[in-house]
A and B are shown apart, each in its own frame.
Chain A
């Protein structure tokens, strides 16, 4: 009995030892994030400037960390090219692990004091603002001659408080409106001009809705409500953002009402997963765009390649891209786009070099030349191509880059016309407008009316009646979020 007790005790001690060993940290750090130095980003910002107007890069051996959610192979490829140019700088690419969202992943890195020197943030800007992740690189951005060659609508992006450059556009995927050329031909409806207007598009949606043949005028992968204020009101953001304030009383209210009408009147294809989809297509989960029953499909640049796959062409679907139409009385050619943004850590020890890396991995010409090469030739170990379609469009005006990119798209004038007309990208709200996603969470999708767009669609709310109230709320959320910048 005594011996048994001794064995049991030994077992318990061994189990405890394994538990303690298993739970211990192996990085040797003692204080985690709280022990980081508070470097304000002025460390390497020397007073000397090279010919370009930027301070010279360091000659010391340094390491920079970089994190973005784009294709890992591309990140690694570009990092290698950067290291070839600056052999004294080692770039470590950080890839998200597990099934965490990118911003959640960044949050975990930040809580360990490991926020990358250069990083992209995904979608919600408020996460980055609230947690003070955004470094100030105004000095470098404004001294950089390449800044002058940025697409006009991207230059001011990231000046959230109007003074400091805290984030920069690093990828753009403009919205695209796809028209099924075969379906138009079948119905003897002429394809519109690439300079079509917003009201022409709405008319076409109605004209191409042919219930007796089961054809739907439109399927909105991206939203009319996003497009309308930007193209019709020359807005610089969603929900009527004019650069200082939001205004939802005009185009937002009209477009959300129009969208609801389209859905109610059967111009819009049934939503996936519904009984209506099952009745219309015989498959409740099928993507409406691949049924051959949709004349106009709203989406973005990234779908161009997908629509050239056999899965579509074999069904006789021939979606060709159109730019989002211009506003009937618009003065600008602003079009909505998915614009991804990057920043540098406010505690990076090498802000000058971090800025250079951010530009190289984002909008910079040199990085883009390598990027184009990667689109053309990068392969996996098994020889399969990594890219069948370019991952984004250039952010600079440089014609050579656009011409090279054009060669990577399918043949046909539609693609020329599209590329010609997407050079005034306007970013979606939450990425560049503080407080926007906060408003979406607490008011637009989860407030008094539930989901406002659904409430309008179901006839529970009149958009024009609530637009004033929503505008005030949105502006107050924006202001509250701006106040956090100075927290």
Chain B
């Protein structure tokens, strides 16, 4: 079988990524799985391993009360943040898709935080309170929320207000993806709808939303993954702390990371099942 020249070009172009993935992702994944099955010591004579089977996985649930606690907090937090981020991204993308002056500048501004706010920078901003809206009186909001909701939910909402700017800053990539999808929509569709008396509101629900639906799934997945991997995520911090913990170490931390990855994977599967493209029965 003759391989097409384009195919070769394709592989060559993704080769740097493939090498990076194999060396910096796949190999550490295998390594961390091996660590997770062992009790690992970092001795001056070298690394020592004692095979413990799946004990570390069991201990993650039985010994670390913070893991379950943080996992629940993360789940609730994510459930609230993802829709906020995706809806915000969609609104901004639609605004940027209008024929306005300095469109390019606005696009740059919205994407800039993705580049600027890398881990350490965003941590500094959060620490210095730059990610909250100063004019919002946190105490008033908190007491209001406490009066309406149970404490666990109120604190999540209050956290949302407290970090609203960070959350919105997480929207750069999603805006870009939505924008690409919006630009692919044939303007004739809108024109035809308008002739038939469709309002802008109806156009949005009948044309825009169905067309960009696949992108919504992609954005939901992207947002969940970026929140799950964020350096500000307390579970990531917990895994790091366990890594250097005297009695737990790399084996335990690796098991925790794998458990976390499985749970995030399960959440991704849920999102996929709910938002996947379903074949219309009419045409099947």
Contacts and interface: CB of A to CB of B under 8 A. Distances in A.
Given A130-B246, A446-B66, A19 B44 contact: no
A35 B13 contact: no
B47 interface: yes
A207 interface: no
B249 A130 contact: yes
Contact of B246 (A8, A115, A437): A437
B15 interface: yes
Contacts of B64: 446
A19 B66 contact: no
Contacts of A5: 9
B65 interface: yes
Contact of B44 (A110, A127, A129, A487): A110
B47 to A, nearest CB: 6
Interface string B58-99: 000001111000000000000000000000000000000000
A446 B43 CA distance: 28
A132 B15 contact: no
Contacts of B19: 16, 19
A436 to B, nearest CB: 10
A132 B193 CA distance: 75
A482 B63 CA distance: 20
Nearest to B23: A23
B45 interface: yes
Which one of B13, B46, B65, B66 has the greatest number of beta carbons of chain A within 10 Å?
A: B46
A35 to B, nearest CB: 7
Contacts of B63: 442
Interface string A448-487: 0000000000000000000000000000000001000001
B246 A126 contact: yes
B3 interface: no
Interface residues of B, number: 24
A130 B46 contact: no
Nearest to A128: B246
Contacts, number: 83
Nearest to B65: A446
B47 A111 contact: yes
Nearest to A441: B245
Contacts of A446: 64-66
Contacts of B12: 9, 12
A133 B44 contact: yes
B240 to A, nearest CB: 9
Contacts of B23: 23
Query: Interface of chain A, helix or strand or loop or mixed?
Result: helix
A209 interface: no
Contacts of B15: 12, 16
Interface in A101-141: 101, 103-104, 107, 110-111, 113, 115, 124-127, 129-133
Contacts of B16: 12, 15-16, 19
A364 B190 CA distance: 86
A15 B249 CA distance: 36
B41 interface: yes
Interface string A343-372: 001110000000000000000000000000
Interface residues of A, number: 42
A66 interface: no
Interface string A77-110: 0000000000000000000000001011001001
A103 B244 contact: yes
B121 interface: no
B151 to A, nearest CB: 15
Interface in A127-171: 127, 129-133
Nearest to B66: A446
B20 interface: yes
A35 B64 CA distance: 34
B246 A124 contact: yes
A305 interface: no
Nearest to B247: A438
A34 B46 contact: yes
B46 A131 contact: no
Nearest to B245: A441
A441 to B, nearest CB: 7
B45 A131 contact: no
B47 A130 contact: no
A272 interface: no
Given A12-B13, A19-B19, A438-B247, A115 B46 contact: no
Which one of B9, B45, B47 has the greatest number of beta carbons of chain A within 10 Å?
A: B45
A132 B45 CA distance: 9
A132 B48 CA distance: 10
B44 A115 contact: yes
Contact of B13 (A8, A129, A132, A438): A8
B42 interface: yes
14 contacts: A8-B13, A12-B15, A16-B19, A19-B19, A107-B42, A111-B42, A111-B47, A126-B247, A127-B246, A130-B246, A131-B42, A346-B45, A438-B247, A481-B247
In the A-B complex, the 3 residue pairs with the closest CB atoms: A126-B246, A34-B46, A127-B246
